[in-house]
Protein backbone atom coordinates (compact mmCIF):
# COMPACT_ATOMS: atom_id res chain seq x y z
CA UNK A 1 0.00 0.00 0.00
CA UNK A 2 2.96 2.22 0.50
CA UNK A 3 5.37 1.16 -2.13
CA UNK A 4 2.68 0.54 -4.69
CA UNK A 5 0.21 3.13 -3.47
CA UNK A 6 -2.64 0.81 -4.26
CA UNK A 7 -5.52 -0.36 -2.13
CA UNK A 8 -7.95 -3.11 -3.01
CA UNK A 9 -11.38 -2.17 -4.32
CA UNK A 10 -12.88 -1.78 -0.86
CA UNK A 11 -16.37 -3.00 -1.70
CA UNK A 12 -15.03 -6.16 -3.37
CA UNK A 13 -12.64 -6.83 -0.53
CA UNK A 14 -15.28 -6.34 2.13
CA UNK A 15 -17.79 -8.51 0.27
CA UNK A 16 -15.12 -11.20 0.09
CA UNK A 17 -14.16 -10.93 3.76
CA UNK A 18 -17.61 -10.75 5.34
CA UNK A 19 -20.22 -11.30 2.63
CA UNK A 20 -23.14 -11.87 4.98
CA UNK A 21 -22.75 -8.91 7.29
CA UNK A 22 -25.25 -6.09 6.89
CA UNK A 23 -23.98 -3.29 4.68
CA UNK A 24 -26.98 -1.02 4.26
CA UNK A 25 -30.38 -0.50 5.82
CA UNK A 26 -32.93 1.87 4.33
CA UNK A 27 -36.41 1.86 5.87
CA UNK A 28 -37.35 -1.80 5.84
CA UNK A 29 -34.92 -2.85 3.13
CA UNK A 30 -31.55 -4.44 3.90
CA UNK A 31 -28.47 -5.35 1.89
CA UNK A 32 -25.55 -7.52 2.94
CA UNK A 33 -22.12 -6.63 1.62
CA UNK A 34 -22.46 -9.36 -0.93
CA UNK A 35 -25.82 -8.06 -2.08
CA UNK A 36 -24.50 -4.52 -2.21
CA UNK A 37 -21.61 -5.70 -4.37
CA UNK A 38 -23.94 -7.55 -6.71
CA UNK A 39 -26.24 -4.54 -7.02
CA UNK A 40 -23.26 -2.28 -7.68
CA UNK A 41 -21.98 -4.64 -10.36
CA UNK A 42 -25.37 -4.78 -12.05
CA UNK A 43 -25.72 -1.02 -11.95
CA UNK A 44 -22.19 -0.50 -13.24
CA UNK A 45 -22.97 -2.73 -16.22
CA UNK A 46 -26.07 -0.68 -16.97
CA UNK A 47 -24.14 2.57 -16.76
CA UNK A 48 -21.55 1.09 -19.04
CA UNK A 49 -24.23 0.01 -21.48
CA UNK A 50 -25.41 3.62 -21.61
CA UNK A 51 -21.94 4.76 -22.61
CA UNK A 52 -20.20 5.62 -19.36
CA UNK A 53 -16.53 4.64 -19.57
CA UNK A 54 -13.53 4.26 -17.36
CA UNK A 55 -12.02 7.62 -16.42
CA UNK A 56 -15.19 9.60 -17.19
CA UNK A 57 -16.26 12.30 -14.81
CA UNK A 58 -19.91 11.83 -13.81
CA UNK A 59 -22.12 14.36 -12.04
CA UNK A 60 -24.53 12.87 -9.53
CA UNK A 61 -27.70 14.67 -8.45
CA UNK A 62 -29.64 12.32 -6.23
CA UNK A 63 -31.67 12.17 -3.07
CA UNK A 64 -30.38 10.27 -0.05
CA UNK A 65 -31.57 6.75 -0.77
CA UNK A 66 -30.19 3.25 -1.19
CA UNK A 67 -29.94 3.63 -4.97
CA UNK A 68 -27.55 6.52 -4.48
CA UNK A 69 -25.26 4.32 -2.38
CA UNK A 70 -25.32 1.65 -5.07
CA UNK A 71 -24.64 4.15 -7.86
CA UNK A 72 -21.69 5.66 -6.00
CA UNK A 73 -20.14 2.22 -5.62
CA UNK A 74 -20.93 1.39 -9.25
CA UNK A 75 -19.00 4.47 -10.37
CA UNK A 76 -15.99 3.23 -8.41
CA UNK A 77 -16.20 -0.15 -10.13
CA UNK A 78 -16.19 1.72 -13.43
CA UNK A 79 -13.24 3.91 -12.44
CA UNK A 80 -15.27 7.12 -12.80
CA UNK A 81 -14.89 10.31 -10.81
CA UNK A 82 -18.14 11.36 -9.13
CA UNK A 83 -19.08 15.05 -8.92
CA UNK A 84 -21.52 15.15 -6.04
CA UNK A 85 -24.16 17.85 -6.47
CA UNK A 86 -26.20 19.36 -3.68
CA UNK A 87 -29.89 18.79 -4.42
CA UNK A 88 -30.89 22.04 -2.70
CA UNK A 89 -29.01 24.22 -5.13
CA UNK A 90 -30.77 26.46 -7.61
CA UNK A 91 -30.55 25.57 -11.27
CA UNK A 92 -27.91 28.15 -12.16
CA UNK A 93 -25.77 27.02 -9.23
CA UNK A 94 -25.92 23.45 -10.47
CA UNK A 95 -25.15 24.56 -14.00
CA UNK A 96 -22.06 26.36 -12.75
CA UNK A 97 -20.72 23.29 -10.95
CA UNK A 98 -21.41 20.98 -13.87
CA UNK A 99 -19.69 23.32 -16.28
CA UNK A 100 -16.82 24.02 -13.93
CA UNK A 101 -16.18 20.34 -13.20
CA UNK A 102 -16.37 19.39 -16.89
CA UNK A 103 -18.53 16.39 -16.03
CA UNK A 104 -19.43 14.39 -19.13
CA UNK A 105 -22.50 12.64 -17.78
CA UNK A 106 -25.24 13.25 -15.25
CA UNK A 107 -27.07 10.68 -13.17
CA UNK A 108 -30.19 12.00 -11.50
CA UNK A 109 -33.86 11.18 -10.98
CA UNK A 110 -37.07 12.47 -12.54
CA UNK A 111 -38.16 14.43 -9.50
CA UNK A 112 -34.93 16.42 -9.48
CA UNK A 113 -34.57 16.83 -13.24
CA UNK A 114 -37.99 18.34 -13.81
CA UNK A 115 -37.84 21.84 -15.21
CA UNK A 116 -34.09 21.92 -15.04
CA UNK A 117 -33.54 22.34 -18.72
CA UNK A 118 -30.52 24.56 -18.39
CA UNK A 119 -28.27 22.11 -16.62
CA UNK A 120 -28.99 19.54 -19.28
CA UNK A 121 -27.39 21.83 -21.84
CA UNK A 122 -24.07 21.57 -20.04
CA UNK A 123 -23.82 17.80 -20.15
CA UNK A 124 -21.99 16.76 -23.33
CA UNK A 125 -22.82 13.08 -23.07
CA UNK A 126 -25.32 10.97 -21.19
CA UNK A 127 -28.13 12.25 -18.98
CA UNK A 128 -29.66 9.38 -17.13
CA UNK A 129 -32.39 9.15 -14.53
CA UNK A 130 -32.52 6.23 -12.11
CA UNK A 131 -35.94 5.54 -13.60
CA UNK A 132 -34.35 5.04 -17.03
CA UNK A 133 -31.56 3.03 -15.49
CA UNK A 134 -34.04 0.44 -14.25
CA UNK A 135 -34.93 -0.44 -17.82
CA UNK A 136 -31.42 -0.39 -19.20
CA UNK A 137 -29.63 -3.51 -20.40
CA UNK A 138 -26.27 -4.58 -18.99
CA UNK A 139 -22.90 -4.64 -20.67
CA UNK A 140 -19.87 -6.43 -19.24
CA UNK A 141 -16.58 -4.67 -18.65
CA UNK A 142 -13.47 -5.08 -16.55
CA UNK A 143 -14.09 -3.91 -12.99
CA UNK A 144 -11.54 -1.76 -11.21
CA UNK A 145 -10.14 -4.15 -8.63
CA UNK A 146 -7.47 -1.88 -7.16
CA UNK A 147 -7.66 1.83 -6.42
CA UNK A 148 -4.63 4.04 -6.80
CA UNK A 149 -4.48 6.24 -3.77
CA UNK A 150 -3.79 9.34 -5.86
CA UNK A 151 -6.76 8.83 -8.14
CA UNK A 152 -9.76 11.12 -7.73
CA UNK A 153 -12.73 9.36 -6.17
CA UNK A 154 -15.06 12.34 -5.65
CA UNK A 155 -15.34 16.05 -6.32
CA UNK A 156 -17.45 18.14 -3.97
CA UNK A 157 -18.04 21.86 -4.24
CA UNK A 158 -17.56 23.95 -1.15
CA UNK A 159 -20.37 26.31 -0.40
CA UNK A 160 -17.82 29.12 0.18
CA UNK A 161 -19.55 32.29 1.31
CA UNK A 162 -17.59 34.50 -1.06
CA UNK A 163 -16.63 34.02 -4.69
CA UNK A 164 -17.69 31.08 -6.82
CA UNK A 165 -17.82 27.58 -5.32
CA UNK A 166 -14.66 25.55 -5.75
CA UNK A 167 -14.46 21.84 -6.59
CA UNK A 168 -12.54 19.95 -3.90
CA UNK A 169 -10.61 16.97 -5.29
CA UNK A 170 -10.86 13.98 -2.95
CA UNK A 171 -8.66 10.98 -3.72
CA UNK A 172 -9.12 7.34 -2.69
CA UNK A 173 -6.15 7.88 -0.38
CA UNK A 174 -7.88 10.87 1.24
CA UNK A 175 -11.02 8.90 2.01
CA UNK A 176 -9.10 5.84 3.06
CA UNK A 177 -6.80 7.60 5.49
CA UNK A 178 -9.70 9.56 6.92
CA UNK A 179 -11.46 6.30 7.75
CA UNK A 180 -8.31 4.82 9.28
CA UNK A 181 -7.68 7.93 11.37
CA UNK A 182 -11.25 7.71 12.59
CA UNK A 183 -11.06 4.07 13.66
CA UNK A 184 -7.92 4.70 15.70
CA UNK A 185 -9.85 7.32 17.62
CA UNK A 186 -13.38 5.94 17.89
CA UNK A 187 -12.54 2.24 17.91
CA UNK A 188 -14.64 -0.41 16.19
CA UNK A 189 -17.10 -2.81 17.77
CA UNK A 190 -18.74 -5.87 16.33
CA UNK A 191 -22.21 -4.40 16.80
CA UNK A 192 -21.41 -1.01 15.28
CA UNK A 193 -23.89 0.58 12.87
CA UNK A 194 -23.65 4.15 11.58
CA UNK A 195 -26.85 6.17 11.38
CA UNK A 196 -26.67 8.44 8.34
CA UNK A 197 -29.15 11.28 8.11
CA UNK A 198 -26.61 13.70 6.68
CA UNK A 199 -26.51 14.02 2.87
CA UNK A 200 -24.42 11.52 0.93
CA UNK A 201 -23.46 14.32 -1.46
CA UNK A 202 -21.61 15.97 1.42
CA UNK A 203 -18.42 14.61 2.89
CA UNK A 204 -20.18 13.98 6.20
CA UNK A 205 -22.38 11.38 4.49
CA UNK A 206 -20.03 10.05 1.84
CA UNK A 207 -17.30 9.35 4.40
CA UNK A 208 -19.66 6.97 6.20
CA UNK A 209 -19.96 4.86 3.04
CA UNK A 210 -16.18 4.43 3.01
CA UNK A 211 -16.05 3.59 6.71
CA UNK A 212 -18.81 1.05 6.21
CA UNK A 213 -16.86 -1.00 3.66
CA UNK A 214 -13.53 -0.65 5.43
CA UNK A 215 -14.90 -1.54 8.87
CA UNK A 216 -17.54 -4.02 7.76
CA UNK A 217 -20.42 -2.23 9.50
CA UNK A 218 -23.83 -1.21 8.19
CA UNK A 219 -24.99 2.25 7.13
CA UNK A 220 -28.44 2.95 8.56
CA UNK A 221 -29.59 5.42 5.95
CA UNK A 222 -32.28 8.09 6.12
CA UNK A 223 -33.62 10.08 3.20
CA UNK A 224 -34.29 13.02 5.48
CA UNK A 225 -33.69 14.16 9.00
CA UNK A 226 -36.67 13.09 11.12
CA UNK A 227 -35.91 13.44 14.82
CA UNK A 228 -38.88 11.39 16.00
CA UNK A 229 -38.08 8.39 13.82
CA UNK A 230 -34.36 8.61 14.48
CA UNK A 231 -34.87 8.81 18.22
CA UNK A 232 -36.99 5.69 18.06
CA UNK A 233 -34.17 3.88 16.26
CA UNK A 234 -31.59 5.12 18.73
CA UNK A 235 -33.73 4.19 21.71
CA UNK A 236 -34.27 0.69 20.36
CA UNK A 237 -30.54 0.22 19.64
CA UNK A 238 -30.60 0.16 15.85
CA UNK A 239 -27.37 2.16 15.57
CA UNK A 240 -24.33 2.78 17.76
CA UNK A 241 -22.88 5.88 16.08
CA UNK A 242 -24.54 8.84 14.39
CA UNK A 243 -23.06 11.80 12.56
CA UNK A 244 -24.79 15.05 13.49
CA UNK A 245 -24.46 18.79 13.19
CA UNK A 246 -25.52 21.08 16.02
CA UNK A 247 -29.08 21.67 14.84
CA UNK A 248 -29.74 17.97 14.46
CA UNK A 249 -28.42 17.23 17.92
CA UNK A 250 -30.50 20.04 19.36
CA UNK A 251 -33.67 18.72 17.78
CA UNK A 252 -32.93 15.14 18.82
CA UNK A 253 -32.33 16.16 22.42
CA UNK A 254 -35.51 18.26 22.51
CA UNK A 255 -37.53 15.44 21.04
CA UNK A 256 -35.98 12.86 23.39
CA UNK A 257 -37.53 14.43 26.47
CA UNK A 258 -37.29 12.13 29.46
CA UNK A 259 -36.54 9.01 27.47
CA UNK A 260 -33.05 7.49 27.30
CA UNK A 261 -30.99 6.18 24.44
CA UNK A 262 -30.10 2.53 24.16
CA UNK A 263 -26.89 1.78 26.05
CA UNK A 264 -25.23 0.57 22.83
CA UNK A 265 -25.38 4.11 21.40
CA UNK A 266 -21.79 5.15 21.92
CA UNK A 267 -21.18 8.23 19.83
CA UNK A 268 -22.82 11.28 18.34
CA UNK A 269 -20.04 12.48 16.07
CA UNK A 270 -20.68 16.22 16.02
CA UNK A 271 -19.31 18.24 13.13
CA UNK A 272 -20.20 21.28 11.07
CA UNK A 273 -18.99 24.11 13.21
CA UNK A 274 -18.59 24.97 16.87
CA UNK A 275 -21.46 23.80 19.08
CA UNK A 276 -22.96 25.89 21.86
CA UNK A 277 -21.57 24.83 25.22
CA UNK A 278 -25.08 24.91 26.73
CA UNK A 279 -26.15 22.10 24.42
CA UNK A 280 -23.03 20.09 25.23
CA UNK A 281 -23.71 20.57 28.93
CA UNK A 282 -27.26 19.29 28.54
CA UNK A 283 -25.98 16.21 26.72
CA UNK A 284 -23.37 15.68 29.42
CA UNK A 285 -25.99 15.87 32.16
CA UNK A 286 -28.18 13.38 30.30
CA UNK A 287 -25.30 11.00 29.64
CA UNK A 288 -25.57 11.46 25.86
CA UNK A 289 -22.16 10.67 24.35
CA UNK A 290 -21.20 13.61 22.12
CA UNK A 291 -17.78 13.69 20.43
CA UNK A 292 -17.06 17.11 19.01
CA UNK A 293 -15.04 17.18 15.86
CA UNK A 294 -13.70 19.58 13.30
CA UNK A 295 -13.39 19.01 9.61
CA UNK A 296 -14.48 20.16 6.21
CA UNK A 297 -14.81 19.05 2.62
CA UNK A 298 -11.12 19.79 2.12
CA UNK A 299 -10.10 17.38 4.90
CA UNK A 300 -12.38 14.58 3.67
CA UNK A 301 -14.43 14.76 6.89
CA UNK A 302 -13.11 15.20 10.44
CA UNK A 303 -9.43 15.94 10.97
CA UNK A 304 -9.72 16.77 14.68
CA UNK A 305 -11.88 14.79 17.11
CA UNK A 306 -12.26 14.58 20.83
CA UNK A 307 -11.28 11.22 22.33
CA UNK A 308 -13.78 9.34 24.46
CA UNK A 309 -11.95 10.10 27.68
CA UNK A 310 -11.80 13.82 26.97
CA UNK A 311 -15.37 14.28 25.80
CA UNK A 312 -16.56 15.39 29.23
CA UNK A 313 -13.50 17.17 30.55
CA UNK A 314 -12.76 19.18 27.45
CA UNK A 315 -16.28 20.16 26.65
CA UNK A 316 -16.38 22.71 23.85
CA UNK A 317 -13.13 21.53 22.32
CA UNK A 318 -12.96 19.84 18.93
CA UNK A 319 -10.18 17.61 20.29
CA UNK A 320 -6.82 16.65 18.87
CA UNK A 321 -5.80 15.83 15.31
CA UNK A 322 -6.31 12.27 14.10
CA UNK A 323 -3.32 9.93 14.25
CA UNK A 324 -1.88 10.82 10.87
CA UNK A 325 -2.82 14.50 10.84
CA UNK A 326 -1.48 17.70 12.34
CA UNK A 327 -2.94 21.06 13.35
CA UNK A 328 -1.34 24.39 14.11
CA UNK A 329 -2.52 27.94 14.70
CA UNK A 330 -0.97 30.74 12.70
CA UNK A 331 -1.22 34.48 13.29
CA UNK A 332 0.28 37.33 11.33
CA UNK A 333 3.29 37.06 13.60
CA UNK A 334 3.77 33.36 12.90
CA UNK A 335 3.03 30.30 15.02
CA UNK A 336 0.58 31.12 17.80
CA UNK A 337 1.18 30.51 21.49
CA UNK A 338 -1.24 28.26 23.38
CA UNK A 339 -4.53 30.10 23.96
CA UNK A 340 -3.69 32.60 21.23
CA UNK A 341 -6.36 32.91 18.56
CA UNK A 342 -5.38 32.60 14.92
CA UNK A 343 -6.03 30.76 11.68
CA UNK A 344 -6.37 26.98 11.87
CA UNK A 345 -3.84 25.31 9.58
CA UNK A 346 -3.90 21.54 8.98
CA UNK A 347 -1.88 18.79 7.32
CA UNK A 348 -2.41 15.10 6.73
CA UNK A 349 -3.10 12.34 4.23
CA UNK A 350 -6.82 13.14 4.36
CA UNK A 351 -6.28 16.70 3.13
CA UNK A 352 -7.27 17.40 -0.49
CA UNK A 353 -4.55 17.96 -3.02
CA UNK A 354 -6.37 21.07 -4.11
CA UNK A 355 -9.30 22.77 -5.81
CA UNK A 356 -10.01 21.83 -9.37
CA UNK A 357 -8.65 24.45 -11.79
CA UNK A 358 -8.21 27.10 -9.08
CA UNK A 359 -4.56 27.95 -9.20
CA UNK A 360 -4.93 31.18 -7.31
CA UNK A 361 -6.97 29.67 -4.49
CA UNK A 362 -4.60 26.72 -4.31
CA UNK A 363 -1.61 29.00 -4.02
CA UNK A 364 -3.33 30.96 -1.30
CA UNK A 365 -4.52 27.95 0.70
CA UNK A 366 -1.70 25.42 0.40
CA UNK A 367 1.87 25.84 1.54
CA UNK A 368 4.69 24.10 -0.26
CA UNK A 369 5.20 21.61 2.54
CA UNK A 370 1.60 20.45 2.51
CA UNK A 371 -0.14 22.65 5.07
CA UNK A 372 -3.68 23.75 4.25
CA UNK A 373 -4.85 27.16 5.48
CA UNK A 374 -8.49 26.60 6.43
CA UNK A 375 -9.54 30.20 6.90
CA UNK A 376 -11.16 29.14 10.16
CA UNK A 377 -10.39 30.71 13.49
CA UNK A 378 -9.43 28.99 16.72
CA UNK A 379 -6.77 28.28 19.28
CA UNK A 380 -4.95 25.37 20.89
CA UNK A 381 -4.77 25.03 24.64
CA UNK A 382 -1.63 24.06 26.53
CA UNK A 383 -2.35 20.35 26.01
CA UNK A 384 -2.91 20.72 22.28
CA UNK A 385 -6.71 20.59 22.23
CA UNK A 386 -8.25 22.61 19.44
CA UNK A 387 -11.00 25.12 20.17
CA UNK A 388 -12.72 26.34 17.03
CA UNK A 389 -13.96 29.89 17.47
CA UNK A 390 -15.61 30.35 14.14
CA UNK A 391 -15.39 30.00 10.44
CA UNK A 392 -13.38 32.96 9.29
CA UNK A 393 -15.94 33.98 6.70
CA UNK A 394 -18.36 34.58 9.56
CA UNK A 395 -16.00 36.85 11.44
CA UNK A 396 -17.65 40.21 12.25
CA UNK A 397 -15.33 43.16 12.46
CA UNK A 398 -16.88 46.08 14.27
CA UNK A 399 -14.99 49.23 15.07
CA UNK A 400 -11.73 47.37 14.66
CA UNK A 401 -12.77 44.73 17.16
CA UNK A 402 -13.18 41.11 16.12
CA UNK A 403 -16.52 39.57 16.97
CA UNK A 404 -17.03 35.81 16.74
CA UNK A 405 -20.73 35.03 16.24
CA UNK A 406 -20.53 31.75 18.14
CA UNK A 407 -19.60 33.55 21.32
CA UNK A 408 -22.78 35.63 21.19
CA UNK A 409 -24.94 32.69 20.10
CA UNK A 410 -23.72 30.71 23.09
CA UNK A 411 -25.07 33.40 25.39
CA UNK A 412 -28.43 33.61 23.62
CA UNK A 413 -28.81 29.83 23.63
CA UNK A 414 -28.22 29.72 27.36
CA UNK A 415 -31.74 31.19 27.70
CA UNK A 416 -34.06 28.25 28.42
CA UNK A 417 -36.72 29.44 25.96
CA UNK A 418 -34.45 29.66 22.93
CA UNK A 419 -34.30 26.82 20.40
CA UNK A 420 -31.90 28.27 17.83
CA UNK A 421 -29.94 31.46 17.31
CA UNK A 422 -27.67 32.95 14.68
CA UNK A 423 -25.66 36.14 14.72
CA UNK A 424 -24.43 37.83 11.57
CA UNK A 425 -22.50 40.99 10.76
CA UNK A 426 -24.49 43.69 8.99
CA UNK A 427 -22.87 46.65 7.25
CA UNK A 428 -22.91 49.82 9.30
CA UNK A 429 -21.71 53.28 8.32
CA UNK A 430 -20.24 54.04 11.70
CA UNK A 431 -18.72 50.72 12.81
CA UNK A 432 -18.09 48.89 9.56
CA UNK A 433 -20.21 45.99 10.75
CA UNK A 434 -22.54 45.39 13.66
CA UNK A 435 -23.98 42.10 14.93
CA UNK A 436 -27.64 41.27 14.32
CA UNK A 437 -29.24 38.33 16.09
CA UNK A 438 -31.87 35.93 14.77
CA UNK A 439 -33.61 33.63 17.20
CA UNK A 440 -36.22 30.88 17.29
CA UNK A 441 -38.28 30.26 20.43
CA UNK A 442 -39.08 26.84 21.79
CA UNK A 443 -42.70 25.74 21.56
CA UNK A 444 -44.85 27.45 24.18
CA UNK A 445 -42.26 30.09 25.07
CA UNK A 446 -42.40 33.82 24.56
CA UNK A 447 -39.03 35.48 24.92
CA UNK A 448 -38.80 39.25 24.72
CA UNK A 449 -36.00 41.09 22.96
CA UNK A 450 -35.40 42.96 26.18
CA UNK A 451 -34.69 39.77 28.09
CA UNK A 452 -32.13 38.68 25.52
CA UNK A 453 -30.62 42.13 25.35
CA UNK A 454 -30.11 42.15 29.12
CA UNK A 455 -28.69 38.61 29.07
CA UNK A 456 -26.07 39.67 26.53
CA UNK A 457 -25.29 42.94 28.25
CA UNK A 458 -24.61 40.99 31.39
CA UNK A 459 -22.21 38.61 29.76
CA UNK A 460 -20.57 40.35 26.84
CA UNK A 461 -18.52 43.41 26.06
CA UNK A 462 -20.77 46.21 24.84
CA UNK A 463 -19.62 46.06 21.22
CA UNK A 464 -20.63 42.41 21.02
CA UNK A 465 -24.26 42.94 22.03
CA UNK A 466 -26.54 42.55 18.99
CA UNK A 467 -27.86 45.81 17.63
CA UNK A 468 -31.05 44.22 16.44
CA UNK A 469 -33.16 41.20 17.44
CA UNK A 470 -35.15 39.32 14.84
CA UNK A 471 -37.60 36.64 15.90
CA UNK A 472 -38.29 34.00 13.28
CA UNK A 473 -39.94 30.59 13.10
CA UNK A 474 -36.88 28.90 11.57
CA UNK A 475 -33.39 29.63 10.34
CA UNK A 476 -32.41 29.05 6.70
CA UNK A 477 -30.05 26.07 6.52
CA UNK A 478 -27.82 24.30 4.06
CA UNK A 479 -28.47 20.71 3.09
CA UNK A 480 -26.10 19.65 5.83
CA UNK A 481 -28.12 21.67 8.32
CA UNK A 482 -25.61 24.45 8.84
CA UNK A 483 -27.16 27.88 9.28
CA UNK A 484 -26.81 29.95 6.10
CA UNK A 485 -25.49 33.16 7.56
CA UNK A 486 -25.04 34.67 4.16
CA UNK A 487 -28.75 34.21 3.45
CA UNK A 488 -29.59 35.93 6.74
CA UNK A 489 -27.37 38.86 5.82
CA UNK A 490 -28.94 39.10 2.37
CA UNK A 491 -32.42 39.12 3.86
CA UNK A 492 -31.56 41.97 6.16
CA UNK A 493 -29.75 43.91 3.48
CA UNK A 494 -32.63 43.51 1.04
CA UNK A 495 -34.85 44.79 3.83
CA UNK A 496 -36.92 41.61 3.82
CA UNK A 497 -36.45 41.31 7.57
CA UNK A 498 -37.25 44.48 9.44
CA UNK A 499 -34.01 46.44 9.22
By CB under 8 A, name the binding residues for its own copies: 1-5, 7-8, 13, 16-21, 149-150, 173, 177, 180, 183-185, 187-190, 192, 214-216, 307-309, 320, 323-324, 326, 348-349, 353, 370, 383-384
Measure Cα distances from 495 to 161, 193, 298, 431, 448 in Å: 20, 46, 35, 19, 22
| 181-191 residues labelled b (16+ CB within 10 A) or e (exposed) | bbeebbeeeee
Kindly tell me which of 27 and 323 has the beta carbon lying closer to its own copies.
Answer: 323
**Residues 51, 80: Cα–Cα separation, whole Å:** 12
Kindly tell me which of 144 and 421 has the beta carbon lying closer to its own copies.
Answer: 144
Measure Cα distances from 175 to 80, 153, 155 in Å: 16, 8, 12
Min dist. Cβ of residue 314 to its own copies (A): 12
Kindly tell me which of 381 and 457 has the beta carbon lying closer to its own copies.
Answer: 381
Min dist. Cβ of residue 485 to its own copies (A): 33
Min dist. Cβ of residue 297 to its own copies (A): 19
Min dist. Cβ of residue 172 to its own copies (A): 9
Min dist. Cβ of residue 10 to its own copies (A): 8
Kindly tell me which of 189 and 236 has the beta carbon lying closer to its own copies.
Answer: 189
State the sign of the Cα–Cα–Cα–Cα dihedral 380, 288, 410, 495.
Answer: positive
Min dist. Cβ of residue 14 to its own copies (A): 8
Kindly tell me which of 116 and 353 has the beta carbon lying closer to its own copies.
Answer: 353
Backbone phi, psi, residue 448, to 5°: -85, 155
Instruction: For residue 307, give the 3-state DSSP assignment.
Output: coil
Instruction: For residue 275, give the 3-state DSSP assignment.
Output: coil
- Give 243's strand partners: 269
Kindly tell me which of 216 and 295 has the beta carbon lying closer to its own copies.
Answer: 216
**Residues 176, 362: Cα–Cα separation, whole Å:** 23
* Tally of CA atoms within 13 A in the half-sphere of 405 that contains its CB: 29
Kindly tell me which of 382 and 429 has the beta carbon lying closer to its own copies.
Answer: 382
**Residues 290, 244: Cα–Cα separation, whole Å:** 9
Kindly tell me which of 64 and 207 has the beta carbon lying closer to its own copies.
Answer: 207
Q: What are the residues whose beta carbons fall under 8 Å from the beta carbon of 171, sequence distance 6 or more?
A: 149, 150, 151, 152, 153, 352, 353
Min dist. Cβ of residue 298 to its own copies (A): 15
Total residues belonging to the chain: 499
Q: Is residue 209 a contact partner of residue 69, using CB atoms and an 8 Å limit?
A: yes
Min dist. Cβ of residue 185 to its own copies (A): 8
With residue 207 as reference, give the H or E element that holds it. helix 203-215
Amino acid sequence: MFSEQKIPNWLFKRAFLTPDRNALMFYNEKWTFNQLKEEAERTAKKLHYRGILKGDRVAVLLNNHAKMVIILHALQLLGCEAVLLNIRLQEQELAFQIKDSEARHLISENELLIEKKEIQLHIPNVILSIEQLEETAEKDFEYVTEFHTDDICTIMYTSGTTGFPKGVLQTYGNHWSSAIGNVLNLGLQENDAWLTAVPLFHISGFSILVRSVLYGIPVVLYDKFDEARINEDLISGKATIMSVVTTMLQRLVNNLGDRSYHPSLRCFLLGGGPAPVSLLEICKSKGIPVFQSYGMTETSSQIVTLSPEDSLEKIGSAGKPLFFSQVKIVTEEGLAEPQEIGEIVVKGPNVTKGYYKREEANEKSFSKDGWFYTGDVGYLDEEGFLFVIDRRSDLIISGGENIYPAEIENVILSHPGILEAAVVGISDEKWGQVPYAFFVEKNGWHVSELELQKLCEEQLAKYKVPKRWIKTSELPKTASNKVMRRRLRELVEKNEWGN
